[in-house]
Amino acid sequence: MSTLRTRTAPIRLGTRRSALAQAQSGHVAAALEKITGHAVELVPITSEGDTNRASLSEIGGQGIFATRLREALFAGECDFLVHSLKDLPTAIPDGLVIAATPRREDARDVAITRGGTPLHALRAGSRVGTGSPRRMAQVHRRAPHAEVVDIRGNVDSRLQRVASGELEAVILAAAGLSRLGSDSPLRREELGLAEWPTAPGQGSLAVETRTDAPADLLAALAALDDHDTRVAVTAERAVLEGLDAGCQAPMAAHAVVEGGDIRVRAVVYASDGGRRIGLDVTEPLNGEYIRRNGSGNGADAADGAPPMHAARAIGLSVAHRLLDQGAADLVSREHPSS
């Protein structure tokens, strides 16, 4: 591979073909162009998740949006990738590295309706669309008299199903709407994270490349990284990893860095929303948690663990506590973790 200093061709960014994927990749491309002074070219790649129209609850959990992109990266078809972090398996293949997690957008979900009726106030039998088992369980809890409809499709097609009256509401990620610049006349209800936590990594992007990429490319990508975002999503993804439940499990995890501490909220749901097991913990990121709980090696305990190490240990501990409280009865565990 040539270095950035010697190359004349654009830096190639591999991305899914969807409008949302290309919009969020475009934001990363523009930021990287400012850092490097080099043009960045989007390389659209079709993933299995874009062509397989089966329910995500049936085909999800094994990196269906990431596998083809990673094959293209290994094959030299592009120089780096941009993923929606919530779609990325927790196990990173040998030879790849998440070089950056840019600052997170709004992590909330939103309910989209025609008239602005809150989700909990929808009339009995109202049809609410989502393809996420986690959101399905949450809709069952928030609007138990509604009918949940398993849907696929891009953001525009989902909005159209509400506008046409086919559905009374759909649940979407606030970050996706923001990145697309959606100006739909439909009404939106922001769903607060305290009562409606979202998927690990929601609102975050993962910038991934090969471990043998040129050092100056790795350095340029690292400049896109937001420290607090990376710490938070490290904890969230560790909860998912510890549950060993897969990307499409009915679970949520959201973390926030507050000064020298990290607060992690995690919930596992029964698929019908009838039962939930949750935890809300705040722990220090300075290694005190690891020293107190005996995690990590002696050097970590003596010198104060790096925040990423502490965040991962805290996330795994939250997962184990959820399992101890019966979460294993609510999720289908799968291998490899994703």
Identify whether residues 128 and 145 lie together within a single domain. Answer: yes
Identify whether residues 46 and 88 lie together within a single domain. Answer: yes
Question: Concatenated DSSP letters for 43-90?
Answer: EEE--HHHH--S-HHHH-SS-TTTHHHHHHHHTTS-SEEEEEGGGS-S
Identify whether residues 248 and 284 lie together within a single domain. Answer: yes
Q: Does residue 336 fall inside a structural domain? A: no
Tell me the average pLDDT across 18-35.
94
CATH number at 315 reads: 3.30.160.40
What is the distance between the alpha carbons of residues 128 and 132, in angstroms, rounded to a whole number?
A: 12
pLDDT reading at 181 higher than 90:
no
Identify whether residues 240 and 316 lie together within a single domain. Answer: yes
CATH number at 91 reads: 3.40.190.10
Q: What is the pLDDT of residue 335?
A: 43
208-259 confidence digits (pLDDT tens)? 999 999 999 999 999 999 999 999 999 999 999 999 866 567 999 999 999 8
Identify whether residues 321 and 291 lie together within a single domain. Answer: yes
272-311 confidence digits (pLDDT tens)? 888 999 999 999 997 666 666 655 443 343 334 588 999 9
22 residue type, one letter? Q
Identify whether residues 175 and 215 lie together within a single domain. Answer: no
Q: What is the pLDDT of residue 47?
A: 66
91 residue type, one letter? A
Angle between helices 307-324 and 227-243 (to 10 degrees): 30
Identify whether residues 187 and 211 lie together within a single domain. Answer: no
Q: What is the pLDDT of residue 255?
A: 98
97-140 confidence digits (pLDDT tens)? 999 999 999 999 999 999 999 999 999 999 999 999 999 999 99
**Contact (CB, 8 A) for 135 and 197:** no
Supply the pTM of this predicted model.
0.88
Identify whether residues 71 and 119 lie together within a single domain. Answer: no
Tell me the average pLDDT across 42-52.
72
Tell me the average pLDDT across 63-73.
88
CA–CA–CA angle 287, 89, 147 (5° rounding) = 110
pLDDT reading at 65 higher than 80:
no
**Comparison of pLDDT for 183 and 266, the residue scoring more:** 266
Q: What is the pLDDT of residue 287?
A: 63
Q: Does residue 279 fall inside a structural domain? A: yes
Tell me the average pLDDT across 146-161.
92
Annotation marks residue 303 as catalytic = no
Identify whether residues 93 and 147 lie together within a single domain. Answer: no
> What is the strand order of the sheet 261-269 is part of?
251-258, 261-269, 276-284
Query: What are the DSSP E strand ranges found in the chain?
Result: 11-16, 40-45, 80-84, 96-100, 109-113, 127-130, 147-150, 169-173, 187-191, 205-210, 251-258, 261-269, 276-284
What is the distance between the alpha carbons of residues 308 and 172, in angstroms, rounded to a whole number?
A: 29
Q: What is the pLDDT of residue 329?
A: 84
Catalytic residue among 50, 79, 87, 156: 87
Q: How far is CA 313 from CA 152, 203, 290, in A?
A: 35, 22, 7
Residues in the chain: 338
Mean per-residue pLDDT of the chain = 88
The two structure tokens encoding residue 269:
């749901």
Q: Does residue 338 fall inside a structural domain? A: no
The two structure tokens encoding residue 210:
């090969």
Tell me the average pLDDT across 6-14.
87
pLDDT reading at 56 higher than 80:
no
Query: Which residue range forms the structural domain that includes residue 248?
Result: 232-326
Q: What percent of the chain has pLDDT over 90?
A: 71
Q: What is the pLDDT of residue 297?
A: 43
Q: Does residue 46 fall inside a structural domain? A: yes
Number of domains in the chain: 3
Q: What phi and psi, each to the nearest 5 degrees, are found at residue 71?
A: -60, -40
Q: Does residue 2 fall inside a structural domain? A: no
Residue 200: band (very low, low, confident or very high) from pLDDT cuts 50, 70, 90: very high
Q: Does residue 6 fall inside a structural domain? A: no
Residue 9: band (very low, low, confident or very high) from pLDDT cuts 50, 70, 90: confident
3-state secondary structure of 26: helix
Question: Concatenated DSSP letters for 81-121?
Answer: EEEEGGGS-SSPPTTEEEEE-PPP----EEEEESS---GGG
